[in-house]
A and B are shown apart, each in its own frame.
Chain A
Amino acid sequence: MAAAMSYVHADVENLKATELRLGLPGVEESDKMPSPPSTPRAGTKRALAGEHREVEPKAAPPAAKAQVVGWPPVRSYRKSCFQQASSKTKEAAPAPVVVKQEEAAVAAAPPAAAAAGGSLYVKVSMDGAPYLRKIDLKMYKGYRELREALEAMFLGFSGDAGSVNPSDFAVTYEDKDGDLMLVGDVPFGMFMSTCKRMRIMKGSEARGLGSSKE
C-alpha cells in the first residue's frame, strides 16, 4: 500500500517536472522558498524527463523570474516610474538583449508593449451597455488618463454626467490567467502587459470595489 502511495506521489511530482508550460522549467509561481536561478533544480528532474533536455535553462539567467510581493525592496512609487523607464530602455537597448528574450520564450514579465511597438488594443465592456469598445492601452501614460478616457467613452450609457457616482463602478480586467482583477493594483506597465480585456462593473457587484486612489 505504501509503495503504491509513494508511486502516485512520485508520479505527481514527475508530472510537474514534465508539464508543458511557456515559462522555463524550474521557475514556479508559488515562491515561498525560491532557489537562486544559477543553481539548476536538479532535484525536480527525473531520469524520465530526459526527452525534455533541450528546454533546460542555459547559462543565461532565466528572464521570467517569479515575482515575490514587495521584492526587491523598491518603493511602489519608484517601481511605477521604473516600469515605464525600463520599457523605454528595452526599446533603446542594443540587439543582444532582444535576442536573449526571444531565446527564453518568455510569457510573463517584460512589458509586451516594449517589444512589440505599435499599439495594444483591448476590448472594453461595460455592464448594461449595448456594445463594446476598443482602446489602445499604449495611448495612456498611467491609470489616471486611462480612467478619464473610459469615463469619457462610457458616459453616455449612464444617463447624465451628474448622476455618475465613481463608487458605483469598478474597472476590472481579465489577465493572462483568465482571472478577473481590479485595475490599479499593479504598476501600469505590468498592467499593460497582462491585460487581455477590460470590464466596467456596475451596481451591487461593484459597490465598494471602485477606488479613486489613482
Chain B
Amino acid sequence: MGRGGARDGAAAAPPWHSLPDEVLEHAFSFLPAAADRGAAAAVCHGWLGAERRSRRRLAVANCYAAAPRDAVDRFPSVRAAEVKGKPHFADFGLVPPAWGAEAAPWVAAAADGWPLLEELSFKRMVVTDECLEMIASSFRNFQVLRLVSCEGFSTAGLAAITEGCRNLRELDLQENYIEDCSSHWLSYFPESFTSLETLNFSCLEGEVNFAVLERLVSRCRNLKTLKLNNAIPLDKVASLLRKAPQLVELGTGKFSAEYHSDLFAKLEAAFAGCKSLRRLSGAWDAVPDYLPAFYCVCEGLTSLNLSYATVRGPELIKFISRCKNLQQLWVMDLIEDHGLAVVAGSCSKLQELRVFPSDPFGAGQVLLTERGLVDVSASCPMLESVLYFCGQMTNEALITIAKNRPNFTCFRLCILEPRTPDYVTRESLDAGFSAIVESCKGLRRLSVSGLLTDLVFKSIGANGNCLEMLSIAFAGNSDLGLHYILSGCKTLKKLEIRDCPFGNKPLLANAAKLETMRSLWMSSCSLTLGACRQLAEKMPRLTVEIMNDPGRTCPVESLPDDSPVETLYVYRTIAGPRSDTPDYVQIV
C-alpha cells in the first residue's frame, strides 16, 4: 500500500482510497461485466457508492429476486435493463397460466426512477398493453424494446410504442404470443421517423400494411435487422430487399410460393444486391426450387436459422454446404445424418449447432441419429455449443464426441423417448455423459437425457466445475443422484429437474447451497411438504414455492407433512415472499 515517500508527501497524488467519485466512476466504466462491477462494489463503501451510482446496465435474472423499487433506488443511472420472469420450464408448458412475472411493477418503478432509460428487455414475463403505453410515455429517449417469450399484450400496445417512441432504434419481438387487434400499429411510426435499426415482428400472426412497411424500410437508412412475419408474400420480400440492400440480418417470413421463374429472378436479383447480409432466418415452407436464389449470399452468411423450415432434401443440403463461413446453424432434424455429414465437411467455422425435432410426438421416421453429431463434432474444431434432439444414442458416440470437442461450453442432448438406453449395448448412458463432463472442462450448460443412473451425477458433481445450468429429466435412481449434484458443481446457478426419484434428504442436507444458486426447479420428484417447510424455515432468504394442481386449492397450512409436492420452485431473494401468487402456488 502506501510507499514511505508518497505517504507523507503533501504534493503527492491522493491515496487510492480517497479518489474522487468521478475518477472511480470513470474507472468502473471500463468494467462492463456485471460480475466485475459487483466485485468492485464489494471492496468498500466508497466504491459501493461510486459503482452503484454509475451503473448503466442492469440484468435482473429473476424478477422476484429483488423488488423493482429497490433495484431502481440502488442503481439510479441505469440506461438499459433486462428482466427475466418465469422459470425456464414454463417454455414447455409446465407452468400454468397466471403464475406471475408481471412486468408492470418494473415498468412503473422504472418510469418513476429511470426517466432517462433507453433500453428495456423482458423475457418470459407478462407484459400488458398498459405496460407498453407507460413505456411509450415515460422515457423520452427510449430506444430499444426487446420482448422474448412474453404474453399479455396486443398490437394496440405496439401501436403505443411506435407512436410514442420518437427515438426508437430497435423493436425486437421474439416468440411472443401477441393478440392481434389491428394491423395499424406499423402506421403509427411518423413519416419523419427514420431511426429504426432493428425491426423484428416475425412472431406476429396478423397482417401488416405492406405499403406502410415499405415506406418505413425505405426511409430508415440505418435498418440492419428486418425479420418479417408469415403474412408477407414472397414477391414483397424481394421488393423490400431492393429498398434495403444494407440489411445485415433478414427473416424472410413464410417464404413459400409456387415456383415462377420471374419471381425467382426477382429474388435472385434482390439478394444479389445485399452485400452485407450475414444472418438469415425464416419459416420457409420453402419450395426447394427457390433456394438457389440465395446462393449469392451464402458465402457471407455467419448465421442461418432454418429451425422453422420444413424444406428438406438435396436442395437444402446443397444450400447449406455453400455457407462456408457459417458460425451458427439452427435446423430441423429433416437435415438427417447425411446432411450433417455435409455440414461437417463444409462449415469448418461452425460454433453453434441446434437440431430441432420436426415431429416430436411422431413415429420417428426421420433419419437423424448420433452419427450426425459425431460427424460435426469431429470436423468442426470451433464447435462449442450444441442442442441436439434425436431418437437414439450410444456411449461410444458420446465418448468420441467428448474426445473430439473438449471445448464445449454448452451441451444439450435430448433423446426423444425418456430413459432410452445405449441402443447397442442396452446400458445406461452414464459413461457417455461422464466422458463429456470429464473432457469439457469449460462446460457451462448441460442437459442430459436417456437412461441414466446416480453414477452420472457423481461424475457431473465432481467434474462440472464451471457448470452454471443443469437440466435433468427422467434420470437417476435415488437421493444420491441429487446429493452428488448439490454437493458438487461449485458454480451451479440454475438447476431444473423433472420426473426423477429425488427426495427430501439431499435437499435438506444441501440447503445452504441453494442460496448460492439463482433457482431450483423440481417437478414430479419425490418431495414432501414437510421437507419444504423445513427448508423454508432454515433458509429465510429463499422463497420456497409449491405448486399444486390448479384445480385443487386447499390451503397448504392444512396439509400434513407427508403430503407429496408436485412442483417445487426455490429461489434466493432479498425481497421476501411475493404477493402475487395465484391460487395454485403457495409459499411455505
**Which residues of A are at the interface with B, using a C-beta cutoff of 8 A?**
32, 34-38, 60-63, 65, 67-79, 81-82, 85-86, 88-89, 93, 96-97, 100-101, 104, 109-110, 142, 144, 211-214
Contact = CB atoms under 8 A, between A and B. Distances in A.
Of A34, A37, A77, A96, most buried by chain B (CB within 10 Å of CB) is A77
A19 B179 CA distance: 45
B418 A89 contact: no
B97 A77 contact: no
Given A72-B389, A74-B357, A86 B362 contact: yes
16 contacts: A34-B418, A61-B363, A70-B498, A72-B360, A75-B91, A75-B175, A76-B92, A89-B310, A93-B365, A97-B363, A97-B365, A100-B363, A110-B362, A142-B205, A213-B97, A213-B177
Q: Is the interface of A mostly helix, strand, loop or mixed?
A: loop
A206 B312 CA distance: 45
A37 B91 CA distance: 26
Given A75-B91, A75-B149, A109 B361 contact: yes
Given A70-B92, A74-B360, A89-B359, 6 more contacts: A63-B362, A63-B363, A70-B89, A78-B307, A97-B363, A144-B205
B358 A86 contact: yes
A79 B419 contact: no
Interface string B496-510: 001100000000000
Contacts of A100: 363, 365
Contacts of A93: 365
A69 B93 CA distance: 7
Nearest to A106: B363
A60 B363 CA distance: 9
Q: Is the interface of B mostly helix, strand, loop or mixed?
A: loop
A70 B310 contact: no
B320 interface: no
A82 B473 contact: no
Of A75, A79, A82, most buried by chain B (CB within 10 Å of CB) is A82
Interface of B: 89, 91-94, 97, 149, 151, 175, 177, 179-180, 203, 205, 283, 285, 307-308, 310, 312, 334, 356-365, 389, 414, 416-421, 423, 447, 451, 471, 473-474, 498-499, 524
Contact of A77 (B177, B421, B447, B471): B177
Contacts of A35: 419
A64 B418 CA distance: 15
B203 A77 contact: yes
A151 to B, nearest CB: 14
Contact of A37 (B97, B360, B417, B421): B417
B358 A73 contact: no
Contacts of B363: 60-63, 97, 100-101, 104, 110
Nearest to B206: A144
Contacts of B419: 34-36
B308 A71 contact: no
A43 to B, nearest CB: 16
A46 B419 CA distance: 25
B91 A72 contact: no
Contact of A36 (B175, B359, B421, B499): B421
Given A36-B421, A77-B175, A97-B365, A72 B357 contact: yes
Nearest to A31: B418
A35 B285 CA distance: 35
Nearest to A190: B361
B568 to A, nearest CB: 16
Contacts of B205: 142, 144
Contact of B417 (A65, A75, A77): A65
A34 B451 CA distance: 11
Given A70-B94, A81-B308, A88-B310, A36 B417 contact: yes
B414 A36 contact: no
Of B93, B175, B180, B357, most buried by chain A (CB within 10 Å of CB) is B93
